[in-house]
């Protein structure tokens, strides 16, 4: 892959048509789009698209597509809600869901969506909170306290959700105000067999045949919301080679990362993340194979872990490519040389790279216990996550707002309480399997003689310990969670198994978190922030920041490509290609109604398509619109060649993958007979 990727990198540097950029809405390159495509992006266009776009709090994107609060996103973004609303008697994942009337729409237990209303630069205030002479750790705490104050003041004044967003690794801080909707109801979902047709084998590939979309509705005061902005549906649909825009919330990228950070990810963090995911996947697969009900209960959890594993495998593959790393080293050397040529800039920024490298050297010895005991401890387990939240909520909410862990500040509490008190069903048998896997992984990675591991197992096998923790817990009861969360003494003295588990873990987890924040985070925010300012000083302030799960906009063209064998891959697949690929066996099994209604479908209708859009995890569900601002598709994936774009953008073979708007209408009309939905979107 090295030689080919090097060619891509050279092309990306030289080619003026590379549609790169995770652009902020308040710093969008309108002139660049006009120069490349002859299209004038107006402020009105940007405002309308921003106010029509939404963030799903479970890690995805979406949009309003009607004046009655109808929300458009991916099936896999909405699958957590779909799974929680399902049961053995009503399996909406397997059989799909269609609300015939608004009264039939079902409320998601714990889903929140946000609309970005306003952005404000608060960099001076946040940075100014760090007192002269403060150590890096003290300055870090002072900045965090000021961030909490800014958010609290904003929330008290406006009633909106207020988040201070860190951009350019601490180079800038912006205050984002969101309107939030916490009453979100399921309207339509196709069967998972067609929404995720091809399953894990086809994930991150193209050509694809996935009907990966779903409709929800936002409610306010028990009635459908009336958003002032929403996106209309295109009657023509997507066209080859047309200009499109994708608005969404990419999670994380490493375009501006230092070489030291990339080497750390390559050598330390990504291998451990992948090992943890692989262990959890094996456990969930074994659990699923025990019964059909287990398979149903674990379906969404297993898909989530498999999706993450494949993504991180692609990221690691990119970092292990010598050509990519050589390119990053070359870019870093060029920036450092530019700074060194100016004595004043060298004095201000010159040591920053050395400081970052030193922090990552320390992080190498700290990362494993920090990741396993704090950052990733509850991964895959709803009950464990609830137990930790209940424990920490009882402690953190008794502290002054600015002294709390960030996830327990006043502005974060409503969303946290919604998750913590969710009535969503919990499956004890799956919880036991997942927690046993976690305990087994801890013992393997930290050693059987590690004090925390010994305390957690207490002379039991991981399976025995997990069963004891889960079976002696009452946290499945929401009222019990509320009782404990609001009574610190009760939590402190509780014999509830899951609270005991969280309590054993909490001391060492907090110590490692504090060490990370004081010795690593404090240095990185300061030094990496200076590197961002160095980039501004050397190249100007027109670069886009790395992704932070905040709203971004990318422009692109709809375009096919040539695959590794040099064969042309068309921009779109059609329904005609779906049926020959269906074998009748998972993951290429079609739902019965798709076989029955084949003769009613126009098989020439576009199904999935690809574009050069610069998108990443978190963009799932992003609306894809044409120059008129009309829906022509919805983003749901990227091909395998796009994964190294996390670090260096290319568009020779890398593509974002979308569901075509024509395919969605064809399915709603001739397979699902969803006339109410079609009327609501104007089709």
Multiple choice CATH, 2-112+182-250+548-680, 3.10.310.30, 2.40.10.120, 3.40.1190.20, 2.40.160.20:
2.40.10.120
Averaged over 241-256, what is the pLDDT? 97
Percent of the chain with pLDDT over 70: 98
| CA–CA gap between residue 75 and residue 72 (Å, rounded) | 9
Residue 14 has pLDDT above 70, yes or no: no
Across 142-162, average pLDDT = 97
**Angular region, 38: left φ>0, alpha ψ -120 to 50, beta rest:** left
Q: What does residue 676 show for φ and ψ, rounded to 5 degrees?
A: -60, -40
129: tokens are 């909170």
Mean pLDDT for the stretch of residues 114-142: 97
CA dist 594 → 96, 191, 195, 600, 602 (Å): 12, 10, 12, 10, 13
Mean pLDDT, range 17-33, rounded to an integer: 92
pLDDT in tens, 199-244: 999 999 999 999 999 999 999 999 999 999 999 999 999 999 999 9
Contact in structure between 144 and 154 (CB atoms under 8 Å)? no
Residue 249 burial by Cβ neighbours in a 10 Å radius (0-12, 13-18, 19+): buried
Q: What is the pTM of this model?
A: 0.94
For 277-322, how does the pLDDT look when each residue is reduced to its tens digit (9 = 90+)?
Answer: 999 999 999 999 999 999 999 999 999 999 999 999 999 999 999 9
pLDDT of residue 582: 97
What is the pLDDT averaged over residues 4-11?
33
The per-residue pLDDT of the chain, averaged, comes to 95
In the block, residue with structure tokens 């030193």: 358
DSSP 118: E
- Per-residue pLDDT for 4 more than 60? no
Residues 6+ apart with CB under 8 A from 44: none
Measured distance CA(223)–CA(262) in Å, rounded: 48
Tell me the per-residue pLDDT of 256-284, one tens digit each, with 9 for 90 and over: 999 999 999 999 999 999 999 999 999 99
- Of residues 7 and 260, more confidence is placed in 260
pLDDT digits (tens, 9 = 90+) for 660-671: 999 999 999 999
Residue 198 three-state SS: coil
The answer to whether 41 and 602 are in contact (CB under 8 A) is no
Around Cβ 680, how many Cβ atoms within 10 Å? Answer: 18
C-beta atoms surrounding 562 within 10 Å:
11
DSSP assigned state of 89: S
In three-state form (DSSP H/G/I as H, E/B as E, the rest C), the secondary structure along 311-335 is: HHHHHHHHHCCHHHHHHHHHHHHHH
């Amino acid at each position: 892959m090295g030689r080919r990727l090097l060619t891509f990198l050279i092309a990306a540097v030289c080619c003026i048509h590379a549609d790169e950029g995770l652009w902020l809405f308040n710093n969008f390159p309108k002139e660049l789009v006009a120069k490349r495509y002859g299209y004038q992006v107006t402020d009105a266009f940007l405002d309308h698209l921003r106010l029509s776009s939404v963030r799903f709090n479970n890690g995805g994107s979406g949009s309003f597509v009607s004046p009655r609060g109808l929300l458009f996103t991916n099936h896999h973004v909405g699958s957590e809600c779909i799974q929680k609303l399902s049961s053995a008697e009503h399996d909406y994942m397997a059989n799909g869901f269609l609300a015939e009337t608004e009264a039939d729409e079902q409320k998601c237990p714990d889903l929140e969506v946000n609309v970005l209303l306003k952005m404000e630069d608060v960099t001076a205030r946040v940075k100014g909170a760090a007192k002269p002479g403060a150590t890096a750790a003290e300055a870090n705490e002072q900045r965090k306290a000021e961030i909490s104050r800014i958010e609290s003041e904003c929330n008290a004044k406006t009633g909106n959700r207020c988040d201070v967003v860190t951009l350019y690794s601490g180079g800038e801080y912006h205050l984002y105000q969101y309107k939030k909707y916490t009453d979100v109801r399921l309207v339509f979902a196709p069967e998972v067999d067609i929404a995720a047709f091809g399953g894990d084998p086809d994930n991150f590939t193209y050509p694809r045949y996935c009907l990966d979309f779903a409709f929800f509705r936002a409610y306010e005061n028990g009635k459908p919301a009336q958003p002032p902005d929403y996106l209309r549906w295109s009657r023509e649909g997507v066209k080859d080679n047309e200009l499109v825009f994708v608005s969404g919330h990419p999670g994380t990228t490493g375009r501006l990362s230092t070489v030291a950070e990339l080497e750390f990810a390559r050598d330390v963090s990504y291998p451990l993340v992948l090992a943890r995911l692989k262990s959890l996947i094996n456990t969930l697969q074994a659990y699923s194979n025990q019964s059909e009900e287990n398979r149903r209960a674990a379906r969404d959890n297993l898909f989530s872990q498999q999706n993450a594993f494949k993504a991180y495998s692609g990221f690691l593959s990119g970092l292990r490519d010598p050509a990519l790393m050589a390119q990053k080293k070359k870019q870093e050397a060029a920036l450092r040389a530019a700074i060194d040529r100016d004595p004043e800039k060298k004095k201000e920024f010159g040591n920053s790279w050395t400081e970052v490298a030193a922090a990552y050297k320390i992080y190498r010895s700290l990362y494993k216990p920090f990741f396993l005991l704090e950052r990733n401890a509850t991964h895959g387990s709803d009950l464990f996550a609830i137990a930790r939240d209940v424990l920490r909520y009882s402690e953190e909410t008794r502290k002054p707002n600015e002294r709390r862990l960030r996830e327990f500040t006043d502005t974060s509490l409503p969303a946290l309480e919604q998750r913590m008190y969710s009535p969503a069903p919990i499956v004890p048998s799956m919880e036991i399997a997942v927690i046993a896997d976690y305990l087994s992984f801890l013992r393997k990675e930290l050693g059987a003689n590690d004090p925390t591991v010994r305390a957690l197992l207490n002379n039991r096998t991981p399976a025995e310990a997990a069963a004891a923790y889960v079976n002696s817990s009452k946290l499945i009861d929401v009222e019990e969670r509320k009782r404990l969360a609001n009574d610190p003494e009760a939590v402190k003295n509780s014999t509830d198994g899951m609270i005991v588990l969280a309590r054993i873990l909490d001391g060492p987890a907090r110590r490692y978190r504090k060490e990370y924040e004081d010795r690593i985070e404090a240095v990185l925010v300061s030094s990496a922030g200076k590197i961002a300012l160095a980039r501004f000083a050397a190249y100007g302030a027109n670069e886009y920041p790395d992704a932070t799960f905040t709203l971004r906009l990318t422009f692109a063209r709809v375009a096919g490509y040539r695959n590794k064998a040099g064969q042309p891959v068309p921009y779109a697949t059609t329904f005609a290609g779906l049926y020959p690929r269906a074998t009748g066996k998972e993951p290429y099994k079609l739902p019965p109604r798709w076989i029955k209604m084949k003769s009613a479908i126009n098989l020439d209708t576009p199904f999935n398509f690809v574009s050069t859009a610069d998108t990443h995890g978190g963009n799932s569900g992003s609306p894809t619109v044409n120059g008129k601002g009309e829906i022509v598709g919805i983003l749901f994936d990227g091909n395998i060649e796009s994964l190294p774009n996390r670090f260096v953008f290319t568009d020779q073979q890398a593509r974002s993958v979308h569901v075509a708007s024509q395919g969605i209408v064809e399915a709603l009309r001739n397979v699902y007979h969803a006339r109410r939905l079609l009327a609501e979107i104007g089709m």
